[in-house]
Structure 1
Amino acid sequence: MRKRTVYAWGVALICFIVLMIVTPAIPQSEEYHDFADQRKFFGIPNTLNVVSNFPFLVIGIVGLVLCFHGNYFNLRLQGELWGWACFFIGVAAVGVGSSYYHLEPNDARLVWDRLPMTIAFTSIIAIFIIERIDEHKGTVSLIPLLLAGVVSILYWS
């Protein structure tokens, strides 16, 4: 069974790499950066787009503290703890990265908007595997899923 899992991961990795190589990059339209609210308050450009990301930072920090302080979420599995920690780190980073992007929207800064979201999303996938399929497989999949997400964002950029 273990050999089968290694083969499955190997095939998935090869498919991922081949698809990244043969699939052309999808260019980001410059119109994507035109937001409905472009007002400037208190010297902050695109103010509402920027400050609306603050709750992500707060929720991410609070969630991270609650993960490690007294096991507030009653996480029984070690893999769950690491999965949720990565998720809340990603959510907190969304608050920072998305604010940075919205200050001056362009393709270079869009990476910092999408990268934290990808970290949060891939962490959730690993958590689903941990909680629904198998703790060990899910915990082991956390790093490859995070790496696949980060590589895909870097490849896009």
Structure 2
Amino acid sequence: MQYLLDYPDANVEDIYMTFCVNWNGREVELDPSEKGKAVTDANREEFVRLYVDYIMNKSVEGVFEEFRRGFYKVCDEGMVKIFQPEELKGVMVGAEDYDWDTLKLNAIYVPGFHPQHPNIVMFWEVFEDLTPEQKIGFLCKWLCCYVIY
């Protein structure tokens, strides 16, 4: 594709390409509104954009949709949305080293609560006394309740 983009001007037509490509033994029209559309100097960037979009997105839509459906059977979609990718990886795969102090520093409280609120102070005192396994178990149970409600 880079070669096509870099091909000298006024010569792309010499290649005699169309917006119809062969993908996995199948003819695919990249621009269905104009069958047999020729690739020209003027539209070669459009051809490359549509070709890359087909390869990277459209050709795998069915398989990806099945993966997505299965993934959300295992992991609740609401839970996925509350994590950044690296955090989700830690939840799904597990992590060996948790930074509990960072968790405490980045905690967000519902209105009426704040880090110095007596209930919050007591919560963190109890949480800090838990073993790492108990902390993980608590967070997993909390996340399940948070996602359900």
TM-score by length of 2: 0.26
Q: Which has the larger radius of gyration?
A: 2
Answer 1 or 2: which has greater strand percent: 2
Answer 1 or 2: which has greater helix percent: 1
